Amino acid sequence: MKRAFLFPGQGAQTVGMGKDIYEKYEEARKIYDKASEISGIDVKKICFEGPEEELNKTENTQIAILTTSLAMLEVLKSKGIEADVATGLSLGEYGALIYAGIISFEDGIKLIKKRGHYMGNLLPKEEYAMAAVIGLESSKIEEICNKLQEQGKFVVPANYNCSVQTAISGETDAIDEAIELLKMAGAKRAIKLKTSGPFHTMKLEEAKKAYEKELENVEFNVLPLNEQKVKVIKNLDGTYYRSEDNVKDVLANHIINPVRFDKAIQLMKDEGIEEYIEIGPGKVLTGFIKKDNKEATTYNVNSLESLEEI
């Protein structure tokens, strides 16, 4: 049976995440301790104690979720549970890249610290928001966003999550207006998310440019596709990383381009992946999988109990 590992993105965080696994497993403790040492951030404290407003700051959220996912992953690996394919949502892609050995653990932690900092701080001054739109095809969402853009209001699709859910990003007032128009157009729901920046849009161009300089210091190891033990799917276009890819360009452009998780789902389905394990807080990604692949077997590792069940 072919298996995929899925790594969650920003918005999945909860205070206390990973604490029960940290307390039981030495493998998990080592990951949290190493991440704290490399980053100079007390990752355990942010994850286990919060407070929520600290955990929800982008510069803390990204490293907290990644560390929690990698701690859980390490326990799975110690039990001999491995995958053929790995992917994630936005920052979750870094969990997949580390798992596949395309980047080292140390470089991954350093990068995500910088990525979170730039995405949280190098933002335009206006007020921004994101919203999830459920039950409306992406072409209709694009059409409504385009109409608002023509009126000088900034709002664009940012995350194509699955065939029936797309997240939009933009100025807060434009998001509020888009929510009403999308509901009128037939969306079952349109709800604001726990993120504040115009992520995965051209508004993060300054963050992208700063991040490019960090990427220059990192070595990437992408083997030819037929030699890869674990294949990783890119958020940028829903295709596998290949040896000819310029990984630095991919990861920099990732910041200002929409996430195509819908295409990743389709690729995994086409590849005959039957079992999906989401590793980290929440259970959003397995939900997306089930929307577009009802035959899939899905599991979540987000607590000690769910980890031990697997």
CATH 3.40.366.10 at 3-122+203-309, yes or no: yes
CA distance 218 to 279: 25
200 is catalytic: yes
Exposure letters 43-59 (e unless 16+ CB within 10 A, then b): bbebbbebeeeebbbbb
Closest listed residue to residue 70, CA positions, set 111, 99, 38: 99
Residue spans per domain, the chain: 3-122+203-309, 128-197
Kindly state the average pLDDT of the residues 79-89. 98
Q: What is the CATH code of the structural domain delimited by 128-197? A: 3.30.70.250
The tokens of 293 are what? 């692949």
Tell me the per-residue pLDDT of 168-220, one tens digit each, with 9 for 90 and over.
999 999 999 999 999 999 999 999 987 767 999 999 999 999 999 999 999 99
Q: Would you state the pLDDT for residue 36?
A: 98
Q: Would you state the pLDDT for residue 125?
A: 87
Of these residues, 36, 39, 69, 90, which one is catalytic?
Answer: 90
pLDDT at 80 > cutoff 80: yes
Q: Do domains 3-122+203-309 and 128-197 have the same CATH topology?
A: no
- Lowest-pLDDT choice from 124-133, 238-247, 281-290: 124-133
Of these residues, 117, 138, 200, 254, which one is catalytic?
Answer: 200
72: buried, middle or exposed (CB in 10 Å: 19+, 13-18, 0-12)?
buried
For residue 88, give the 3-state DSSP assignment.
strand
90 is catalytic: yes
Longest Cα–Cα distance in the chain: 56
For residue 33, give the 3-state DSSP assignment.
helix
pLDDT band for 104, please (50, 70, 90 cuts): very high
Average pLDDT taken over every residue of the chain: 96
Please report where in the chains the tokens 């023509």 appear, as a residue. Answer: 150
- Lowest-pLDDT choice from 74-88, 123-137, 207-221: 123-137
Kindly state the average pLDDT of the residues 63-82. 98
CA distance 155 to 172: 9
Sheet holding 275-279, edge to edge: 231-232, 85-88, 3-7, 275-279, 297-301
Q: Would you state the pLDDT for residue 196?
A: 67
The answer to whether residues 248 and 269 touch, using CB atoms and an 8 Å cutoff, is: no
